[in-house]
Amino acid sequence: MRVPYVYIALLSVGLAALVCAVELGRRLGARQRRVDPGASDAAVGPMDGVVFGLLGLFLAFTFFGAASRFDHRRDLVVNEANAIQAAYLRLELLPAEPRSELQAMFRRYVEERVASYAKLPDQEAFQAEYDRSVALQREIWRTALAAGQRVNPPLSG
């Protein structure tokens, strides 16, 4: 799941507004102290608590969102690895000749997937690697179908 840039922009604007509000309050307080040096600072403590509480809440939401995206991404990687492993183990049902060819193709496929994720910050390079892995996946599927059709079907009663 991708977080739209709108949410990131709103969070950034909210944090900037919070910092601006703190700075504005500091300046107004400094001006008030110059005008009336005997004024009480009794209201400053609770206001600081509210501002820092909101800042902490923003940070908590930010870290929660990042952690949930990290967990989701990790689950996707684990699911993909499990699917590749299950498909690789099912190659044992094929005769030796297509099995060794398909096993080599699976190894290349895993290398392509790892290479595509290694280039993830560069979106164009990632897409090129990803497209290569998808093409290899289609080739694996065609080869597996052809190998499966060559195998004699089991006897049925």
What pLDDT, in 10s, does the model give residues 126-145?
Answer: 899 989 999 999 999 999 88
Q: Are residues 149 and 95 in contact, defined by beta-carbon separation less than 8 angstroms?
A: no
Task: With cut-offs at 50, 70 and 90, classify the pLDDT of residue 43.
Answer: low
Q: What is the DSSP string of 91-114?
A: GGGS-HHHHHHHHHHHHHHHHHHH
| Residue 78, both tokens | 């684990």
Q: What is d(CA 6, CA 60) in angstroms, rounded to the nearest whole number?
A: 19
Residue 122 CA: distances (Å) to CA of 21, 92, 117, 118: 37, 37, 10, 9
Listed in sequence order, the DSSP H helices in the chain are: 5-35, 44-90, 96-118, 123-150
**Which tokens belong to 20?**
């601006």
Largest separation between any pair of C-alpha atoms in the chain: 101
Q: What global pTM score does this model have?
A: 0.59
- How confident is the model over 86-136, as pLDDT tens digits? 999 998 888 888 899 999 999 999 999 888 888 888 889 989 998 999 999
Q: Give the contacts of 34 (CB within 8 A, at least 6 positions apart).
A: none
CA atoms within 13 A on the CB side of 63: 6
